Structure 1
Amino acid sequence: MWGYAELVEILGDPSHREHRDRLDWLDLDDPTGFDPARFDAKAVTAALQRVR
């Protein structure tokens, strides 16, 4: 969690030196594929149940 705010900041700044690395890490072509305000609790619960 402590790095989440930093991730959001970096993705929001295309001139940040780690911007491209973070996009690659998230397997995104551009930051529009990442919406920090979107959270689907049902999808997360389903994904976690599959991991068990």
Structure 2
Amino acid sequence: MEFIKEFSAFLHQKEIIKFGDFTLASGKKSSYYVDLRLVPSYPHQFRIMIKNLQN
């Protein structure tokens, strides 16, 4: 659970998660967008994310 809080804060601080009105590639509407293409730019957090997703 701690990972989720820390990773959420990281996404917000680095503006990887954005809030607003977005139209996704599928055409669906969303009130938020997570640009995961940016995460590998932060290798330490990227490794932590991969480790936690594997568990």
TM-score w.r.t. the length of structure 2 is 0.28
Structure showing greater relative contact order (alpha-carbon pairs closer than 8 Å, 6 or more residues apart)? 2
TM-score w.r.t. the length of structure 1 is 0.29
More strand by share: 2
